[in-house]
Amino acid sequence: DIQMTQSPSTLSASVGDRVTITCRASQSISRWLAWYQQKPGKAPNLLIYSASNLEAGVPSRFSGSGSGTEFTLTISSLQPEDFATYYCQQYYTYSFTFGPGTKVDIK
């Protein structure tokens, strides 16, 4: 299986901050990567697919980049509703794997 790692595991930030989360794959996955946001007690919500495509309805402050083995999710100006846990997911092979998550909390 392809292993996914994320850094940092926890990120403390303030409203208005620019936030960057990194996701790395154990082998090249081209651009077959998605990002999800999950709030406590809720299902994950798709933010980005194919590494950089914004899902319909997702605010434009979210953006994704990268290819191969290294990817980033950026929130350009953190809003109160963005405090959550973020997961990357590879879908290069039919044994999908998620990163361990990055929790963004209030500084």
For another protein, which residue of 7, 12, 50, 79 counts as binding (CB under 8 A)?
50
DSSP symbol at 8: -
For another protein, which residue of 24, 31, 55, 61 counts as binding (CB under 8 A)?
55
The verdict on 98 binding another protein (CB under 8 A) reads yes
Spatial separation of the C-alpha atoms in residues 37 and 50, rounded to whole Å: 16
Torsion sign over Cα 25, 26, 31, 34: negative
The stretch near another protein (CB under 8 A) out of 10-18, 49-57, 59-67, 73-81 is 49-57
- Closer to another protein by CB, 8 or 77: give it: 8
